[in-house]
Structure 1
Amino acid sequence: MKFTDGYWLLRDGVEACYPADAYQITAASDSLTVHAPVRRIERRGDLTTGPVVTVRCTSPMPEVIAVEITHFEGVLARGPQLALRRAAADGVEVSVDDEAAVLTSGSLAVRFSRGDTWRMDFLAGGRVLTGSGAGGMAVIQADGRPYVREQLDLGVGHQVYGLGERFGPLVRNGQTVDIWNADGGTSTEQAYKNVPFFLTDAGYGVFVHHSGKVSFEVGSEAVARTQFSVAGQSLRYFLIHGPTPKEILRRYTALTGRPARLPAWSYGLWLSTSFTTSYDEDTVSSFIDGMAQRNLPLSVFHFDCFWMREFHWCDFTWDPRTFPDPPGMLARLKARGLRICLWINPYIAQQSALFAEGRDHGYLLRRPNGDVWQWDRWQPGLAVVDFTNPAARAWFAAKLDALLDMGVDCFKTDFGERIPLDVVYHDGSDPERMHNHYAYLYNQVVFDLLETRRGRGEAVLFARAATAGTQCFPVHWSGDCEATFDGMAQSLRGGLSLGLSGFGYWSHDIGGFIGRPEAAVFKRWIAFGLLSSHSRLHGGWSYRVPWAFDEESVDVLRAFTRLKMTLMPYLARVAEEAHTDGLPMMRPMMLEFPDDPACAHLDTQYMLGDSLLVAPVFTADGDVRYYVPEGRWTSLLTGTTVTGPRWVGERHGFDSLPVLVRPGSVIPVGAVDDRPDYDYAAGVVLRVYPSPGAKHVITRIVTPQGEPAAVFTVDRHEGLTRVTASRPVPEWSVLLVGEPAPASVRGAVPEDVTDGVLLRSLPGELTMEARQ
């Protein structure tokens, strides 16, 4: 929210007070509290008027400092509020002298100046990261409503990222962002997934611990500051030190929760009926038969809205007119090796049999006068499930549990953004604070059920709405994008922004949702979609089977689906990093190359894990321009090389796009190309890519369950290449990419290939050497 009218004035109806003096300081062993009057205390009479701003600093974990700014402390605390995973750090130090008061956690410190000018700085290793100076921190009255505002210095050339899944430019500088979930598609400033967390390339990130609306002015109201404000009498935020963007994400997700480990089968291709299309079992079978006849690997089949009857969403009952035998149908599909996903949402239409049940038992949101809250958007007379009611949570979960008994494997948890404010919650939650947090509770109920029934590591959602903490319940997809190249680019920007907000996995509708894509758009989107964390063919009003476009679409889908399956030994390791470290599988270039200024604004390409650069093609003719960081990079598809740093312009057919391997990488390629869940170590080929500086490279292979399977070490010294396995692995091989045939080989038989030399290990042998 903007409060000022230029530099000198406040807007009409706004009154602001700013801390002026760290007048009184209370130091404890683990906290520092500053009582700051809004005017300098020159005489005793100055003590009789307020306000006084209280600033309390603590630390939940090393390298993270919490700052709570409070005006009136008598306001009742109303939930919800995201529960944090860390409570208090060890080794916090507090010191106070005549010049400053300082709280230190690890190498991070917050320092309050005791001079004539108000100043609060955050330092790491003695270097100032950012700070709040005179006129920054404030308690405000705007149109009769109280607010608390903070402004942190934004250094020259420093960039801000994150704040959820946003579809505009990746860098937030110059933008105004309201953290408020909305069902607005991917082509506006609204977002389905709003997260009050940003990170910078200046060594720190900020998480505002507030479930309701948070307004951010990123170098916009005050162009040299990042501003954030909330309505009410207090504001709490966490300053998170890196220094690298990866370390900031690790610490943020350690505080708010990390993504769950996902089942290996979820990384395969998902095929949907699409949104409002007409379908029955024969239609579904024709899609699956068509995929099999064309040798298109398929892992999951998704039933969208009309598995239920019209006007009955959601009653969780199959439409008997089109699906007379759901258990039999599901058994037939599962006999073909498929997993099953069903579309659901948290709304109960008036015509649903569950409406009266929910109304009579108090499971639905009510207006202050006791009426059930209803409206006619989406479904006539729909009501909203009250997930703050434990009985309603159990009731909703029981309906899904019956579907799991029937053979369903997972759910697409659609909607959850348009949550009303004129309601009363069962637990007394503040409706404004619950608006965003509702998505957390909704997805938590479904995910917890799946984990209970399927076990940890086997639960997966396809969710749209989210907020802080909802990253724990993956996967999330981008929502309603236009079936155009613009829509494709918007989706990518949203996914990269979400990854910088703590979400490890992300997907999108291949081909776009709104409208029917041209064949060129569909084929380009296929390549992008299969080089994403999760891959789903889905649309709005038309089917997305590839033969509905042209035969080349079939070929393109086959090639990239099989490519992704062979990359599973690599992708599984990257996915494990999402689970253990909170790092996204699809990474903005700046996350891997924070010291390369050319990467700061890039949002039309990304790193898939730490080793693969992917540049989707956003044109029908195949023209693409992308940036290559320093070193000699190698095309995964063709073996050709390009040396950076520089910009590259190329033209690609529909069966190709730039996928470059980072210098010095070892990419494990699996022996299976028709399913994502297999023994990743058996028959693996380690593709070793040269780099002058890569002398010792370790690549880990995990099982489909995320457990360690093998560790391969590649050592290069004075022309000698040695590859060692940590345990016996049958029939593993090494491909020295782009290198001449070795002069001698021990424990392997060399085989010429198009882009290098293949060295095949002998069964059970642990060490292999090849002298160059």
Structure 2
Amino acid sequence: MPLGKVISTILIATICNCSYAQTKTIQIKKGESWYGGAVTEGQQMPLKDGYSFNLFANTGGNQAAPLLLSTSGRYIWSDEPFKFSVHGDALEISNATAPVELDSLGHNLKDAFTNAAKKHFPAKGKLPDTLLIAKPQYNTWIELVYNQNQTDILKYANAILSNGFPAGVLMIDDNWADYYGRFDFRKDRFENATAMVDSLHKMGFKVMLWISPFISPDTEVFRDLLSKKLLLMKDSINPAILTWWNGYSAVMDFTNPAAKEWFTGRLDYMVHTYHLDGFKLDAGDADFYPADAISYAKATPNDHSRLWGEIGLHYALNEYRAMWKMAGEPLVQRLRDKQHTWVDLQKLIPHITLAGLLGYNFTCPDMIGGGEYGSFIGRDKLDEELVVRSAQCSALMPMMQFSVAPWRVLSKEHFAIVKQTVAIREKYTPYILQLAKASATSGAPIVRSMEYEFPGQGFVDVKSQFMLGDKYLVAPVMAKDGTQTVVLPKGTWKSDKGEIVKGPKTITQTVPLDRLPVYELVR
């Protein structure tokens, strides 16, 4: 190894192995671009002059990691969160409370990722439940919102099948219990939850249940957990009461092994009593945890988010929306809720490709048509073309998830196209499963940015297409007028229409609503 590279690899780590709030500046090389930090910032990548983000107590409402990667093969890593900013041709790392490593051994973005993953988040050789990949997922959120109930859940499941969709994983969302921390179905809405789950199983579904780490205050469970000191505390007597999207709650302190044992015990009880198959583990954002809260063992807000991630390792059928430093694990990640807008649709590719660069490979785009339920309130009619293009965008990503019922909101013509996207996915499913199995061992992203797969060919700012493995270039349309520009790298490509195209080539076209452009690299 050249001496210069050895020095550049260890220099910052050596200098920063001291007290607190370290600040270091890395000179950005000519033509070098940087990516990383938080998935929800993907549309702003690569980092531009004036950009700044602080990872402390902030995962951006999605997945994050203390990792930055460059197109010249360098990466920056620290075991703790830090702030990073770009000022001209300088990348400044500040507020670092742990050593910061700059590795310069690679030559391109793929090298930077491979080197970082091997050292800091190696793949564990395990997969989440592959039904999440093999078949579409269905979530009850948009159809039922807070009115989760046995009758309507069974209606939703029956409608999935009667409308010609295959059974897969069905997720029962929030408000199935009397309160947070009560691990039993509420009797006023679920007269026999076990029978409901058994019925769903007979239809061919596996069943997941929404949970969070929050505990409703002034309840029997809350008082019991408080007496046992299993909650995060404000002081020696009072619990920390956190503000989140559903109000005010206490929260489990998973730095305490007894708290983790109690919580997983309640989840196991739910599995055994109601025959559930797994859990959608929501919340857990570092943003919700006060930095001055008192815990059993010393922990930052980011540490609490990571500990929430460890809960899911007990269940092969899992899903997270917020995560810190749990790359390489068999955990399913979902992109955060998107609004029912074209602007948010255009974020899916830069977000999911950045998730892959941060090591979160088993990732699901948001619910088709959008999962931010507020954008559906008061709408007499959805943008049907947006739902169709959203389904196409998800079709060849690692997973696809329905929530709003396409048979309810779409015309016969548009509904048929959405069903067609499911058929397209079925064609590629064996390859997607092959990539997932390989990723579990190698850590390589399933969905890849163009710059990752084709370094140095001018793809640094391309955010409207992605590579599925190293074989298929997927270019879903994300503009209402159907226009798009596809940039093909060097090589010979075969389009979904059977055309042979020699790259490099830029194709500007108007794509009919029933087409998902895919280009196969044939040589």
What TM-score results when the alignment is normalised by the length of structure 2? 0.90
Contact 1:258–1:581, Cα closer than 8 Å, also in 2: yes
Q: Which residue of 2 aligns with 1:177?
A: 53
Give 1:445's match in structure 2, choosing from 288, 303, 311.
Answer: 311
1:290 maps to amino acid: A
Give 1:411's match in structure 2, choosing from 275, 279, 300.
Answer: 279
Contact 2:36–2:68, Cα closer than 8 Å, also in 1: yes
Q: Which residue of 2 aligns with 1:290?
A: 159
Per mean C-alpha deviation after superposition, the further-off stretch among 513-522 and 610-619 is 513-522
* C-alpha separation in 1, matches of 2:152 and 2:519: 39
Give 2:518's match in structure 1, choosing from 638, 641, 659.
Answer: 659
* C-alpha separation in 1, matches of 2:486 and 2:56: 33
* C-alpha separation in 2, matches of 1:318 and 1:294: 28
Q: Which residue of 1 aligns with 2:379?
A: none
1:509 aligns with 2:379: no
Q: Which residue of 1 aligns with 2:112?
A: 248
1:519 aligns with 2:384: yes
* C-alpha separation in 2, matches of 1:421 and 1:304: 29
DSSP 3-state at the match of 1:629: strand
What TM-score results when the alignment is normalised by the length of structure 1? 0.62
Per mean C-alpha deviation after superposition, the further-off stretch among 521-530 and 246-255 is 246-255
* C-alpha separation in 2, matches of 1:110 and 1:366: 46
Q: Which residue of 2 aligns with 1:202?
A: 72
Contact 1:612–1:660, Cα closer than 8 Å, also in 2: yes
DSSP 3-state at the match of 1:194: strand
DSSP 3-state at the match of 2:83: strand
C-alpha distance after superposition, 1:409-431 (max 9, x if no partner): 1211111111112211102x14x
* C-alpha separation in 2, matches of 1:468 and 1:138: 20
Task: Give the deviation of 1:659 after TM superposition.
Answer: 0.9
Give 1:225's match in structure 2, choosing from 90, 94, 108.
Answer: 90
Give 1:587's match in structure 2, choosing from 445, 448, 452.
Answer: 448
Q: Which residue of 1 aligns with 2:128?
A: 262
C-alpha distance after superposition, 1:358-378 (max 9, x if no partner): 111111001134311114544
C-alpha distance after superposition, 1:696-718 (max 9, x if no partner): xxxxxxxxxxxxxxxxxxxxxxx
Q: Which residue of 1 aligns with 2:356?
A: 499
Change (3 A) 1:182 1:204: closer
* C-alpha separation in 1, matches of 2:63 and 2:250: 22
Task: Give the deviation of 1:379 after TM superposition.
Answer: 4.2
Change (3 A) 1:389 1:585: same
Task: Give the deviation of 1:655 after TM superposition.
Answer: 2.1
Task: Give the deviation of 1:619 after TM superposition.
Answer: 1.9
Give 2:140's match in structure 1, choosing from 273, 279, 284.
Answer: 273
Task: Give the deviation of 1:177 after TM superposition.
Answer: 1.9
Unaligned runs of 5+ in 2: 377-381
Q: Whose strand fraction is larger, Structure 1's or Structure 2's? A: 1
Task: Give the deviation of 1:206 after TM superposition.
Answer: 1.7
* C-alpha separation in 1, matches of 2:147 and 2:16: 56
Change (3 A) 1:121 1:372: closer
Give the aligned CA root-mean-square deviation in angstroms: 2.5
Contact 1:215–1:228, Cα closer than 8 Å, also in 2: yes
Task: Give the deviation of 1:191 after TM superposition.
Answer: 4.5
Q: Which residue of 1 aligns with 2:461?
A: 601
Contact 1:374–1:383, Cα closer than 8 Å, also in 2: yes
2:447 maps to amino acid: M
Q: Whose helix fraction is larger, Structure 1's or Structure 2's? A: 2
Task: Give the deviation of 1:138 after TM superposition.
Answer: 8.4
Change (3 A) 1:509 1:290: same
Give 2:439's match in structure 1, choosing from 544, 553, 578.
Answer: 578
2:166 maps to amino acid: P
Unaligned runs of 5+ in 1: 1-105, 112-119, 124-130, 184-189, 451-458, 665-772
DSSP 3-state at the match of 2:203: coil
Task: Give the deviation of 1:495 after TM superposition.
Answer: 1.4
DSSP 3-state at the match of 1:613: strand
* C-alpha separation in 1, matches of 2:371 and 2:247: 23
* C-alpha separation in 1, matches of 2:153 and 2:412: 20
Q: Aligned residue pairs: how many?
A: 504
Contact 1:269–1:535, Cα closer than 8 Å, also in 2: yes
- After superposition, residues 724-763 of structure 1 pair within 5 angstroms as none
Q: Which residue of 2 aligns with 1:364?
A: 231
DSSP 3-state at the match of 1:462: strand
- After superposition, residues 99-138 of structure 1 pair within 5 angstroms as 106=1, 110=5, 121=8
Q: Which residue of 1 aligns with 2:412?
A: 551
1:168 aligns with 2:25: no
Change (3 A) 1:302 1:192: same
Give 2:347's match in structure 1, choosing from 490, 496, 500.
Answer: 490
* C-alpha separation in 1, matches of 2:56 and 2:330: 20
* C-alpha separation in 2, matches of 1:460 and 1:181: 27
1:593 maps to amino acid: F
Q: Which residue of 2 aligns with 1:703?
A: none
* C-alpha separation in 2, matches of 1:354 and 1:549: 44
DSSP 3-state at the match of 1:547: helix
- After superposition, residues 339-378 of structure 1 pair within 5 angstroms as 339-375=206-242, 377-378=244-245
Runs of 4+ in 1 over 4 A off after TM superposition: 106-111, 137-140
C-alpha distance after superposition, 1:219-250 (max 9, x if no partner): x23x2222212255x53325262334333323
Q: Which residue of 1 aligns with 2:21?
A: 147
1:156 maps to amino acid: K
C-alpha distance after superposition, 1:491-522 (max 9, x if no partner): 32221112111111211221112313411111
Contact 2:330–2:440, Cα closer than 8 Å, also in 1: no
C-alpha distance after superposition, 1:737-771 (max 9, x if no partner): xxxxxxxxxxxxxxxxxxxxxxxxxxxxxxxxxxx
Q: Which residue of 2 aligns with 1:533?
A: 398
Give 1:401's match in structure 2, choosing from 268, 283, 287.
Answer: 268
- After superposition, residues 562-641 of structure 1 pair within 5 angstroms as 562-596=423-457, 598-636=458-496, 638-641=497-500
Task: Give the deviation of 1:330 after TM superposition.
Answer: 0.5
Q: Which residue of 1 aligns with 2:189?
A: 322
Task: Give the deviation of 1:252 after TM superposition.
Answer: 1.9
Task: Give the deviation of 1:195 after TM superposition.
Answer: 1.2
1:168 maps to amino acid: Q
C-alpha distance after superposition, 1:427-470 (max 9, x if no partner): 2x14xxx21122211121232x22xxxxxxxx132101112234
Q: Which residue of 2 aligns with 1:435?
A: 301
Task: Give the deviation of 1:560 after TM superposition.
Answer: 1.5
* C-alpha separation in 1, matches of 2:345 and 2:203: 32
DSSP 3-state at the match of 1:282: helix
Contact 1:314–1:347, Cα closer than 8 Å, also in 2: yes
Q: Which of 1 and 2 has greater Rg?
A: 1
Contact 2:136–2:169, Cα closer than 8 Å, also in 1: yes
Contact 2:490–2:502, Cα closer than 8 Å, also in 1: yes
